[in-house]
A and B are shown apart, each in its own frame.
Chain A
Amino acid sequence: MFDKLFYQEKGLFLQSLHPATVLVYLNVLFVLSLLYQNPLYLLGLFFFLVLLIIEVDGMEAWSGFLKAGVSLMLIIMIINPLVIRAGATIIWHGPELPILGKLDISMEALYYGAVSSIRLLVIISIFCLYNLMINPDKVLNLFSKVAGKSVLMIALSTRMLPTMVRDLKRIKEVQQFRGVDFDEGSLWARVKKYSCLYNVLLLSSLEDSLEIAESMQARAFGSGKRSVYSRNILRPRDIICMVASFLALFAAIWGLQYGYGQYTFYPQADFLIKDRITLTTLSVVIFYLSAPIILSEGWKNCRFLKSKI
């Protein structure tokens, strides 16, 4: 059921990028989503991310991520106007409440809540994109040289997790057939029943871990300094995407220095588009960020480009 939310190899262009390229690119997107205040810029990023998600065939996964994010969005949109008193345009005068004080709802606070929700959507979409674009094992492999043992521990845990979930399901079935009702009894009684379940899982996992350790020892683990097998290949497409990511970041920082991308909500909301450069800066940043999408389309439709990148 949750398989769709995680990485699946589909042979797509965006999945063929070097993990370092993907990390740089997604980090640029993440930094921009935090730096930008202007709702137009955040909306621009959001629609751009939708394009990227379509490009990695991830709409189904994205809808799963959004479902989880919608409740958070609603909370932000409701709480913000209730607690923020900085807005000048009051649209509803509410009663006096014990802790919150006078409940006046301002349009600016509502606006800020809505923009924060868009930011949240953008961040959720970036995480979704990470899951769709990058094989977690390749990311671990990237850090093997600097943190070999930690990476190995994460890899072992990743591998063990589905096994343990399956074991737990099987042990629960066994216990149910031995007369245990997990949904009956007081809370304490149910906690006790589940503790037995986890007890079996823990005992079996400890025994299994010895077998894994033995297999590791038989394959010379701990017999001396390890080397690292890198399976990641750096291609021209990675260089192009990395350069484009940095150019997008520089263009965004330049713009922010001059106020393009900044926005003031309180006491009164700023203009959305101050001048033509507001749109030009956004277009330049989006253009640079579009490098992977442009290359991906070229890779799909142009044999010449495919052979060169």
Chain B
Amino acid sequence: MPLFKVENLTYYYPETEKAALRGINLEIEEGEFILVAGGSGSGKSSLARVLAGLIPDFYGGRIGGRVFFKGKDIRTMDRRKLAMEVGMVFQDPEKQMVQSYVEAEIAFGLENLGLDTEEMSRRIAEVISFMNLTSIREMFTANLSGGQQQKLALAAVLAMQPHVLILDEPTSQLDPVSAEEILNLVKRLNEEMGFTVIMIEQRLERCFHLADRVLFIERGEIVCDGKAQEKACEAIKMGLPFVPPVARFFADLNFPSVPITVKEGRKLLRSCLRGKKPTSKIQFGLCRNNVHVEDLREQNSVVSLKNVWFTYPGGQEVLKDASLDIKEGEFVAILGENGAGKSTLLKHMIGMLKPGRGKVHVLGKDISKNGYKEIRRLTAYLSQNPNDYLFQDTVEDELLFTLKNFALTDISVVDEMLEKFHLSRYRKTNPRDLSSGERQRVALASVLVTRPRLIILDEPTRGVDFRLKADLGKFLQKEAEKGSTVIVVTHDVEFAAEFAAKVAMMFSGRIVSDGEKHEVLGKSIFYSPQIGKMCMGICEGVLTFAEAQEIIFPLIEDKRTITLLRTGENA
């Protein structure tokens, strides 16, 4: 008997005419690790919530079809019993904390189950040691880092000892190192403790290889379901972008079975390129996106930080002698772990913080003295949370609000922006009624109406799907080509490698590496995109899928090579 059995499930959120889930049929066996992929608003989270019993109990709405857990209709099950069997971890760790202290947060679910103190103490002790949370057990939850908070959220669910763990984009808010830690924990839970894991993720390069089975969801329907390796090729043929770059690379070469890990990819690539020398990186890497480093040297400096030091009032030294020079028309990504000082650096660039020592010049103004007012008319700043921008009654009003504040009278730019961001049909819609991707576009449009020369974005790809990420990246590239300077602070190495021209890496308040993206990411082991990791030492300088296509495809597409390989595989 399957653990979950979903029969012809259809679901509509309250007051909507469009089904969030349509005709879903699905069986999940005990102990499986299932990865659910799909675009924003495709129905992934809705499916997770149905399996966790939150739909329709918590959300309301109309539901059709049936969902069985261990043979019982999930809607007839006691909520407490279901919570003891199925645990769910959500996307934003901060928005699932209830208690103010770590130990109390872990105990919260156990108290809800009505367990006695002895049982609670045992479970809490167990989960704290398993998750290695002893050092933070007395800490205030608001003071924890994002990674620690997500670990705590997972611990709070694990303490309830469920058999099924549902994770809704658990790593989207985390830096690569913290994300890796969470994913390793989840893998251990599945492999060593037999948990059934259902995980929704956007950053597939991190977790595609962990799953026994992948489900691709589009417009509320399951369009592809099967083993990760087998379904990667099928998904690409169907035009779905939700496949990690390594798999996409080999699937495009019509390999019958594609690798899904860097290790497998490197092995296959080595065997394909045996005896063949790829062209030098000089011929391709430095000139992508029509930006030459030599050209940039001639251009005006838009952002210039010279020996900037900054210490917060509490005594924490966050910037240590940071220097950075960004020219007009550059697209720069700033990478680094949480707490490296990226956001503090960004706040110096927009004049919200004044350096203790050093100089900050932006658009020719010394903002270390005069602050943000001198540059804001020509600077667009998009914070991590698009919701910070949305409070007007309509999308159009959001854009007009910025124009009015700067006393700009040319309102034709509103139409232009709405058109550019595909928001024209939402002109009169309340921005809070839109999806997360659409909200981000409204926020971006609301800061770009002033036609800024400098665009600064803080973590713009958090929780954003492949397609929207690509749209955003291409848009920012175009703006850079038109002469605007773009600065993006991000954890998303794939995004930085694909779209930025320059990369600066921060560590412990210092800029440890700064230069053309191939120079910086090509040398890095941990901050390198998946294609870069695959090509490292085999074909130096290749970072992106497009570059791999340009350099490696002609060498591998030799049909004899592929035939030989296939023969070898069959043998």
- Please list the residues of chain A having a beta carbon within 8 angstroms of any beta carbon in chain B: 1, 3, 9, 135-137, 141, 152, 155-156, 158-159, 162-163, 167, 170-171, 173-174, 176-181, 196, 199-200, 203-204, 207-208, 211-231
CB of A216 within 8 A of CB of B405, answer: no
Kindly report which residue of chain B lies nearest to residue A193, judged by CB atoms. B405
CB of A162 within 8 A of CB of B142, answer: yes
Interface string of B436-447 (1 = CB under 8 A from A): 000000000011
Known contacts A229-B104, A229-B117; is A217 also within 8 Å of B387 by CB? no
CB of A203 within 8 A of CB of B390, answer: yes
Kindly report which residue of chain A lies nearest to residue B153, judged by CB atoms. A215
CB of B157 within 8 A of CB of A219, answer: yes
Restricting to B367-394, which residues have a CB under 8 Å from any CB of A? 372-373, 376-377, 379-381, 383-385, 387-391
Listed stretches B9-17, B91-99, B535-543; interface member: B91-99
12 contacts between A and B (CB under 8 A): A1-B314, A163-B142, A170-B385, A178-B447, A179-B376, A208-B95, A211-B96, A217-B79, A221-B108, A222-B112, A223-B80, A229-B124
* A34–B39 CA distance with the chains assembled, in angstroms: 66
Known contacts A215-B98, A218-B88, A228-B111; is A177 also within 8 Å of B447 by CB? yes
CB of B387 within 8 A of CB of A204, answer: yes
> How many residues in B have their beta carbons less than 8 Å from beta carbons of A?
73
Contact of B112 among A135, A199, A219 (CB under 8 A): A219
Q: Which residues of B contact A212 (CB under 8 A)?
A: 95-98
CB of B112 within 8 A of CB of A220, answer: yes
Q: Which residues of A contact B110 (CB under 8 A)?
A: 227, 229
Contact of B98 among A141, A155, A167, A200 (CB under 8 A): A155
Contact of B116 among A152, A170, A227 (CB under 8 A): A227
CB of B404 to closest CB in A, whole Å: 8
**Further 15 A-B residue pairs, CB within 8 A, beyond A167-B388, A179-B376:** A9-B138, A141-B104, A152-B98, A159-B142, A173-B381, A174-B383, A176-B376, A177-B381, A199-B391, A217-B58, A218-B90, A219-B87, A220-B160, A226-B111, A227-B120
* Interface SS, A side: helix
CB of B387 within 8 A of CB of A207, answer: yes
- Please list the residues of chain B having a beta carbon within 8 angstroms of any beta carbon in chain A: 52, 54, 57-58, 78-80, 83-84, 87-88, 90, 92, 94-101, 103-104, 107-117, 120-121, 124, 138, 141-143, 153, 156-157, 160, 313-314, 347, 350, 352, 372-373, 376-377, 379-381, 383-385, 387-391, 401-402, 404-406, 432, 446-447
CB of B567 to closest CB in A, whole Å: 52
* A225–B112 CA distance with the chains assembled, in angstroms: 7
Q: Which residues of A contact B124 (CB under 8 A)?
A: 229
Q: Which residues of B contact A224 (CB under 8 A)?
A: 80, 114
* A226–B107 CA distance with the chains assembled, in angstroms: 11
* A97–B12 CA distance with the chains assembled, in angstroms: 77
Q: Which of A196, A212, A213 has the most CB of B within 10 A?
A: A212
Known contacts A225-B114, A227-B111; is A174 also within 8 Å of B381 by CB? yes
Kindly report which residue of chain A lies nearest to residue B141, judged by CB atoms. A159
Known contacts A159-B141, A170-B385; is A178 also within 8 Å of B405 by CB? yes
CB of B362 to closest CB in A, whole Å: 12
Contact of B99 among A159, A211, A214, A226 (CB under 8 A): A159
Kindly report which residue of chain A lies nearest to residue B458, judged by CB atoms. A170
Q: Which residues of A contact B98 (CB under 8 A)?
A: 152, 155-156, 159, 212, 215-216, 219
CB of A221 within 8 A of CB of B112, answer: yes
Q: Which residues of A contact B405 (CB under 8 A)?
A: 178-180
CB of B401 within 8 A of CB of A177, answer: no
CB of A159 within 8 A of CB of B83, answer: no
